[in-house]
Amino acid sequence: MSRPSNDRLTPLPGAILPALLFAAMACSAGEPNAQAAARGLPAAPAPVTAVGQQLAAVIQASGVTCTTPLSGTGCTAGNVDAGDFYDVELLPECGDKGFFAGVARTSGADILDAVPATGSTATATAHLAQGQLICIQGIARAGQHPRYYYVVAIPASSVAACKNAALCQTYGDRPIKRLQPTTGAACRPAAQGRDTGDCAQGWVDAAALDVFSNGI
């Protein structure tokens, strides 16, 4: 006759087993949470810089579309679906580091509210006289060749580099003929190379301009 073994484990009371299982599950579940905490929450979006604000203003005003608006890259103007479009480089600065030009065409140049393209309704909003100084904020290229410039007619007095510059004897402030209603607010310089007020701005035929490739 066999004897009872003294090594046999005593069954746990029914109330204890569920409690142990719950504790084990809590420990297991806690490990991923700890790892998640170690990874931290997603970083907050970087604040928009002054340059980013300038780019946003130019993108909105010019009507271009950019794949990366915050950096102003991958921009196009025109009708992409129809294959009638231009690659656009944005240059929002109109201060000391701005890119400038003058209206060289004898008959002057119309400012358009959009780049002429298939399906577009580009309309002249103002006419610039020969000799008008302008700041270039966008270059629309077909291949490597500029076809249109997005420009702003700003007061020559707001461009520090114009002081005693020969180019600014040829180009400066000229009468601007408005072809669309305006707010009447005078165009004037603002902080960080920006302008404020109702400045004549839009797209101009590249052939009408004398671009200051080497600066003023």
With a pLDDT cut of 70, the percent of the chain lying above it is 75
Q: How many CB atoms lie within 10 A of CB 171?
A: 23
Q: Per the domain annotation, does 3 fall within a domain?
A: no
Q: Per the domain annotation, does 131 fall within a domain?
A: yes
**What's the chain's average pLDDT?**
82
The CA distance from 150 to 204, in Å, is 6
This prediction's pTM:
0.75
The residues that bridge with 140 in the sheet, in sequence order, are 88, 148
Least confident among 13-17, 78-82, 137-141, 159-163: 13-17
pLDDT of 185: 86
Q: Per the domain annotation, does 18 fall within a domain?
A: no
- Listed in sequence order, the residues at least 6 apart from 10 whose beta carbon sits closer than 8 Å to its beta carbon are none
Q: Into how many domains does the chain fold?
A: 1
Mean pLDDT calculated for residue range 22-50: 48
The pLDDT tens digits of the residues spanning 158-206 come to 888 898 899 999 999 999 999 998 888 888 777 655 677 889 999 999 9
CB 37 within 8 A of CB 31: no
Tell me which residue range forms the domain holding 57.
50-211
The CA distance from 29 to 89, in Å, is 52
Q: Per the domain annotation, does 109 fall within a domain?
A: yes
Mean pLDDT calculated for residue range 10-38: 45
Q: How many CB atoms lie within 10 A of CB 116?
A: 16
Q: Per the domain annotation, does 69 fall within a domain?
A: yes
The residues that bridge with 133 in the sheet, in sequence order, are 102
The CA distance from 134 to 126, in Å, is 13
Give SS3 for 27: helix
Q: Per the domain annotation, does 45 fall within a domain?
A: no
The pLDDT tens digits of the residues spanning 84-109 come to 999 999 998 888 788 999 999 999 99
The CA distance from 67 to 20, in Å, is 55
Please say if the pLDDT value at position 40 is more than 90: no
The residues that bridge with 160 in the sheet, in sequence order, are none
Longest dimension (CA), the chain: 125
Q: Per the domain annotation, does 17 fall within a domain?
A: no
Q: Per the domain annotation, does 1 fall within a domain?
A: no
Q: What is the CA radius of gyration of the chain?
A: 32
